Amino acid sequence: MGRYFGTDGIRGVANLELTCELAMNAARAAASFFKNNNAPLFIGRDTRISGTMLESAFVAGALSVGKNVFSAGIIPTPAVSFLTRELACSFGVVISASHNPVGDNGIKLFSGDGYKLPDSSELLIEGMINSGWNGLPVETGVGNLQLFDSAPRRYVEHVKKSVNCDLSGLKIAIDCACGAGFDVAPKILRDLGAQVLAINTEPDGARINVKCGSTDMAALAGLTVENECHLGIALDGDADRCLMVDEKGNKIDGDQILALLALYMKELELAGSGKLVVTVMSNLGLELAMREHGIELLRTSVGDRYVIEKMRECGALVGGEQSGHIILQSFNTTGDGPLTAAFVASVLKKNGGKFSELARIFTPLPQVLLNVKASRKKDFTEDRFITAKIAEYEKSFDGKGRILVRPSGTEPLIRVMVEGENDEKINSAARTLASLIEERLN
């Protein structure tokens, strides 16, 4: 696979690129990296069919170097982040490929404080993966596995306590993407008093993210409108992302959710609420709106862990991505779909009115995002034809638009984002760049 770690852990086609051998050696490397902490590691997974196989391999690798393991089974990524910290574990692991297709899988690592590892730590672990692993312990030197059945309940109680709001009177639709949030996410909302209509709650292993959840919100929009729900919620496969629809079925993306929560936290005058951390993908309209409300907007590279690093550095309370990773740093240390959903629902309940009006905080500038297949995605910065065409379009926008071209950290794609005031102009630029990339990088 070349370099193992991408923007969100190790990813690849399960049993082809991400093999049991790689998972086992990654576990040995991670356990050795955290060897000075004798506490167990905490591991969970999403629902995809290869999850049991790869979790078993990772657990075996950790046990083989003497590391004890707490296993929660199927559980959202944010629950692993929270419980790793809550239980004072040495590190946390999630076997998941998030929003990727069912054939993919991944390994995400969290430090003992619940934060994703920085690049420097991943590089050190990566350097240890192919170490050979001679002299492994025997007899009572190997680790012990303990099933942690109370994990879902503890996470549910944490989210409910964090939100602390009665949602009675709200009717909420939720699409769980046949993923890790299939049980806990609807339960949180019901326990808080909402009437909940949940779909795609079958953890059958083969349907995760398939025409459902945050990657395909058509069914959710229909359910929300047909049942006159106040809002609809869409999770991704590991429930660290959350997108929404209003009562009319219109999509509410991560930028709009971030704006709503940033203003809400500022109204409460909470520490760190005067700053909002987003990535380079967030709409320019969000930046202009936050400026009007006296909130400083800071941008990072794409990836929720870069957002979190900047939030920790500047003390921001709210941050996240347009794609739906929303971080509320006082309550969790990673993107948390169920927590975000419950908080937005609480804001709607406290403010009253319609969600379509509450979420209309800014007018997004027209934005086009195209995913272009590129087998040689890392070569685009060295292709003078592509870079020249990008520069030509940027000059033509005269400061009233943006172009962002970047390789995906998890898939063989290059993402082309063009933003500006004129729909026709940005669509033309995006299509031209996509064609050029497809032609030259395959």
Q: d(Cα 240, Cα 326) in Å, to the nearest integer?
A: 8
Neighbours of 240 (CB within 10 A): 35
Catalytic site residue from 50, 64, 81, 98: 98
Phi–psi pair at 235, nearest 5 degrees: -100, 165
Q: How far apart are CA 176 and CA 183, in angstroms?
A: 8
CA–centroid distance for 81 within its chain:
12
Residue whose structure tokens are 């006296």? 294
Cβ–Cβ under 8 Å, residues 339 and 161: no
d(CA 8, CA 303): 7
Backbone angles phi and psi of 242, in degrees to 5: -150, 120
Exposed/middle/buried for 192, CB within 10 Å: 0-12, 13-18, 19+? buried
Q: How many helices (H) and strands (E) does the chain have?
A: 14, 19
**Residue 414: how many other CB atoms lie within 10 Å:** 25
Query: Is 98 annotated in the active site?
Result: yes
Chain Cα centroid distance, residue 49: 20
Give CA angle at 427 (216, 423), nearest 5°: 95
Q: Where are the alpha helices (DSSP H) in 235-364?
A: 254-267, 284-292, 304-314, 337-351, 355-358
d(CA 331, CA 162): 7
For 167-191, letters b (16+ CB in 10 Å) and e give beebbbbbbbbbbbbbbbbbbbbee
**Catalytic sites, residue numbers:** 98
